[in-house]
Structure 1
């Protein structure tokens, strides 16, 4: 008796792969046989990579970019590999393996790329496919444009940093911090072509030659403002392009202040009087705190160009009641500080764990600091 059609087993109706006999998943193939019959990649071009041996950047489509080798390989494969139109959502990962070598301008190395490609079928997007390839690759080394400029000693701008006259310890620290900050700022912008191509020491400071005018002047303005330093900028014509455009070299002169935030300075208060202040914050407008009574004041930085920090010293506290009294370290006599009524500084001294406090001696008078 013939078996009714509806009684036949389900598997009798399942399509089979015409190659291996497994269940057909797409067209007349299982997924394994489908990708063998229809590789995701039709062809790979020759892979030639240009790299800068100095900074490690790579040349991609005419631009030097910062990217790890794996990220670069993925981009190259995605741009250059020819894929079968039967696939979508194609993505690449790759790893570049090179033999041991010493990268230098004009040299090259031949290695291998281990690539993996993943994709989905256009017909059945739920099916995921992947393939792995081993491809030859060549790496050619040459200096990028920025490193050529850096190594050529070319420069467009000079930042001159000068020490303060009659430099104090805080002034020396301010000078070193300014130089260090400029170097860090230039390093941070190296990807944009800014480099310190040359350094020259002078009797009272240092000159830093930088490759780009615009960024160099921005740095000079920012650092001078941050430290409350003096700044003068001038320009000098040094070349002209074929189209007639004039090229200028900029010079920024930064005069380091003779103090830092936390320094005690004597400021001319008018009528021949000088008052002592603690520098709270540097900038175009300086924030100060009067040593005598703790009041906050603002002052334009140009009024403090000749100010220098006063040296602090440690004094022994000999009495705290009814008022604070310290031992003058110069003559070893007890003395009441001129600003003993400054509640903030008096409490700081009284809470000292070792019975000592910081003072400033100015015009033979003692001040808590």
Structure 2
């Protein structure tokens, strides 16, 4: 029977022989046969660098890790320092049940001293070790912010109206749609998603977008909400290192000429139409009869028409009398004379006041804001 004990090669004291020393692939670590006193003499529970330097983008707060920039969910640089310290510290492979805590000390604006305490078990012996690592915060500019500052873009999204300038509300909403889309891409970790600029002019809104695919998606989202159409035009800008042609693309989100709330005369003999939807074929209701209206395929998405006004021009006036099923008398809000006008189906017979639009074509009774038309 072989002796289960051997001697420490450093001090000569007897030590217990490792159970797996004779097994194939057993312990080969030369320190494994040292006695506890000699083993712990040079033992380090934690491997810590002398200092850590973190490069942070001064614009967006992204952290450089290796050759790439990473967006971090940190409230301040202390959170970043803790994360970087955790990434940089190493614990001895034989340690068990290791726990650790860290106490940051803000030395100055760019230096945080990290006091870390580790506990664990080695050879069934409890150990505790404290290390202090200074973390230096350096500031720079990430690739993404550098591109934005340099006016880098590949797609231009132009929000335009048909025979009109988009309203302030439409441009506000279009810009919000674009920023929401970019935020969705950023949430997936796409650091190449950004809006370089959003500028408004006499013709409408211009959005410079980082990538063509994103510009196209934004233009279609805008049209999906407002109606209209998207067109695209390419411009060759340069070639990449492999000789591939690179293009910038201008996407025009053309909003409909008429929008919900407009009263339009299509000169078809059936009276003006209050537009209720500009999605797909234009839809609305006839303000003289209350009948539903939808542009036919032959007429196109939006047929030619003349805008008489919109809900912003509506005034409340007195209903003087109901003449019959098709006509009522109302008080002209400008001349205060009684005028006979068509009675649409959506007008309540017991109403005392009605909303009217005054145009060159006369007075038109419109449905109330909450009417289901």
Shorter-chain TM-score tier: 0.5 to 0.7
CA distance in structure 2 between the aligned counterparts of 1:129 and 1:213, rounded to whole angstroms: 58
The residue that corresponds to 2:319 in the other structure is: 318
Matched, 1:338 2:342: yes
Matched, 1:97 2:97: no
CA distance in structure 2 between the aligned counterparts of 1:214 and 1:303, rounded to whole angstroms: 26
CA distance in structure 2 between the aligned counterparts of 1:326 and 1:225, rounded to whole angstroms: 39
The residue that corresponds to 1:111 in the other structure is: 112
2:48 to 43, 49, 56: 43
When the two structures are aligned, how many residues end up with a matched partner?
312
CA distance in structure 2 between the aligned counterparts of 1:365 and 1:357, rounded to whole angstroms: 11
2:356 to 352, 355, 359: 359
Corresponding residue SS for 1:254: strand
The residue that corresponds to 2:138 in the other structure is: 140
Q: Structure 1 residues 166, 250: CA separation in 2 closer, same or farther (over 3 Å shift)? A: closer
CA-CA distance at 1:55 after TM superposition? 0.9
Corresponding residue SS for 1:77: helix
Note if contact 1:157-1:210 (Cα within 8 Å) is conserved in structure 2.
yes
TM-score by length of 2: 0.67
The residue that corresponds to 2:61 in the other structure is: 56
Corresponding residue SS for 1:54: coil
Deviates more, 1:87-96 or 1:188-197: 87-96
1:327 to 320, 324, 331: 331
1:293 to 290, 293, 301: 290
Deviation track 1:330-359 (CA, whole Å, cap 9, x = no partner) reads 4322235424422xx437x93xxxx64422
Note if contact 1:290-1:297 (Cα within 8 Å) is conserved in structure 2.
no
Deviates more, 1:83-92 or 1:238-247: 83-92
Corresponding residue SS for 1:303: coil
CA distance in structure 1 between the aligned counterparts of 2:149 and 2:217, rounded to whole angstroms: 23
Matched, 1:152 2:157: no
The residue that corresponds to 2:81 in the other structure is: 73
CA distance in structure 1 between the aligned counterparts of 2:45 and 2:269, rounded to whole angstroms: 87
The residue that corresponds to 1:178 in the other structure is: 174
2:273 to 272, 276, 284: 276
CA-CA distance at 1:120 after TM superposition? 5.9
Deviation track 1:73-119 (CA, whole Å, cap 9, x = no partner) reads 3442333212022134656666473624xxxxxxxx333234465x6
Corresponding residue SS for 1:72: helix
Note if contact 2:354-2:365 (Cα within 8 Å) is conserved in structure 1.
no
Note if contact 1:50-1:139 (Cα within 8 Å) is conserved in structure 2.
yes
CA distance in structure 1 between the aligned counterparts of 2:293 and 2:96, rounded to whole angstroms: 71
Note if contact 1:315-1:326 (Cα within 8 Å) is conserved in structure 2.
no
The 5 Å alignment of 1:15-54 reads 40-44=45-49, 46-54=51-59
The residue that corresponds to 1:226 in the other structure is: 225
CA distance in structure 2 between the aligned counterparts of 1:299 and 1:277, rounded to whole angstroms: 16
Matched, 1:83 2:91: yes
CA distance in structure 1 between the aligned counterparts of 2:197 and 2:150, rounded to whole angstroms: 10
CA-CA distance at 1:157 after TM superposition? 1.2
Unaligned runs of 5+ in 1: 1-34, 101-108
Unaligned runs of 5+ in 2: 1-39, 368-373
